[in-house]
Structure 1
Amino acid sequence: MKIEVLYIDDCPNWVEVGRRLEDALAMVGNSRTPISYRLLRTPDEAAEVSFAGSPTITLDGDDLFATNGRTTDLACRIYFTPSGLAGLPTTEQLMKAIASRGV
């Protein structure tokens, strides 16, 4: 299993999403799964991956929160959370998304 956080330099949410991912992985029994981080600097780099804004979290190359919102724009991403729109998913949302993939 490969988890990767795709992010841009101007969006600060990638740091906290990393912490939440660590917690979510521990909750589903995969605390030893490494998380990699990829800084996207250009639209061409964003076009090479499943990028939907920063941060995008992928599991084995697929967006954990896939929508039709794939983009090459170097912009922050908005997530729908139980408490409204946010710049990153909750730990529980991450846990459920990971568990739903049978991981």
Structure 2
Amino acid sequence: MRIQLLVIEDCPNSAVASNRLETALELLGIGGVLVEHRVMKTCADVRGTEFAGSPTIAVDSLDLFPGAPTEELSCRVYSTPLGLQGAPTIEQLTAAFASRGLGKR
């Protein structure tokens, strides 16, 4: 399994997304998985990826929260139970991984 956190430079939500992702993986019992942090610096960097804005979390090159891919270096928002946020909640992350059969059940 390959997990990537795709962000743009100076993304205000990259640290929050990274922390929530690490916590979710630990809760699922797969905390030892390497998360590749990839910074998108140019439009060419996003071509061929599932990048749908920063931060995008991809598992085996597929967006964990499928959105419309973009070649623009832009921010992304997620719909959460608390309203729009710059990263999915820990609960949303664990549910998304579990729905793909990853981690403890």
TM-score normalised per structure 2: 0.93
- The alpha carbon displacement at 1:11 in A equals 1.3
Q: How does 1:1-103 map to 2 (within 5 A)?
A: 1-67=1-67, 69-103=68-102
- Counterpart of 2:93, as a letter, is L
Separation (CA, whole Å) in 1 of partners of 2:12 and 2:48:
22
- The alpha carbon displacement at 1:27 in A equals 1.0
Separation (CA, whole Å) in 2 of partners of 1:11 and 1:23:
20
Q: Deviations over 1:54-95 (max 9, x none)?
A: 00000111000002x210110110100001111110011011
- Counterpart of 1:74, as a letter, is L
- The alpha carbon displacement at 1:16 in A equals 1.4
Separation (CA, whole Å) in 1 of partners of 2:13 and 2:101:
26
Give aligned pairs, total: 102
- The alpha carbon displacement at 1:10 in A equals 3.0
Separation (CA, whole Å) in 1 of partners of 2:16 and 2:36:
14
Unaligned runs of 5+ in 1: none
SS for the counterpart of 1:71 is: coil
Separation (CA, whole Å) in 1 of partners of 2:45 and 2:81:
32
Q: Deviations over 1:11-69 (max 9, x none)?
A: 121111111111101111101111110000111111221100000000111000002x2
Separation (CA, whole Å) in 2 of partners of 1:99 and 1:14:
22
List structure 1 runs of 4+ shifted beyond 4 angstroms. Answer: none
Unaligned runs of 5+ in 2: none
SS for the counterpart of 2:38 is: strand
